[in-house]
Structure 1
Amino acid sequence: MIFELLTAKYPGMRRWLTQRLCALSMALVLLLFWIRLSVLSPQNHHDWVAVFSPWWWRVLTLWFFICMLLHAWLGVRDVLRDYVPHLKARALLQGLVDLAVWGNALAVLWILFGIHF
């Protein structure tokens, strides 16, 4: 039953499920972040750097931001499709949203891993 809903017959179901899985993933990462902050309780800049210094935590943070950007992109896309009937205006707005999403993704990579573009 669930696999039939994820076929091309129901294209919106995959986007809906993706958005819900992204939200669940972000909630789990936030829970881990809260636990990590409770255990480490950073007090100064050096402590905060230590919180984000392990490679696995930076990868998990990157995963959080990828899920957040995908979740937001899907939500804004659906809002634009519902409320902007003019195709050219919708395409322009979606292009601006796409630029913002890619800009934020590059900023996250730069901040977390020091990758320069």
Structure 2
Amino acid sequence: MKLADKPVDRKQLEHFDVEFSDEMRSLTAELEVHAEALKNGRRLVDIELPESTLVVMVRRGDNYFVPKGQTQLLEGDKLLILADTEAAIKETQQNLCPPKKTHQK
């Protein structure tokens, strides 16, 4: 079997029409931006992200684009995240989709 004939097993993400090889060591996730995440500013650079995390693409409605640090994020934007560890994905999720605070009486 030639290398070119070898079937490639890929993972596909739900909102992004992107496929990654299972051989890729980094992890990917799709995360939605919630209003609480924008409290310190709307620019991507204002969002606290782990050092090993990269926002690869933004989906806003039917539009897709590669963000820069100065990109203004909106509530409901979907971000394609690339990270080295599951812990980095979880931390990013907590920063973008923080749990709702409950008030105790």
Q: TM-score, normalised by structure 1?
A: 0.29
Question: Which is richer in helix?
Answer: 1
Question: Which is richer in strand?
Answer: 2
Larger of the two Rg values belongs to structure: 1
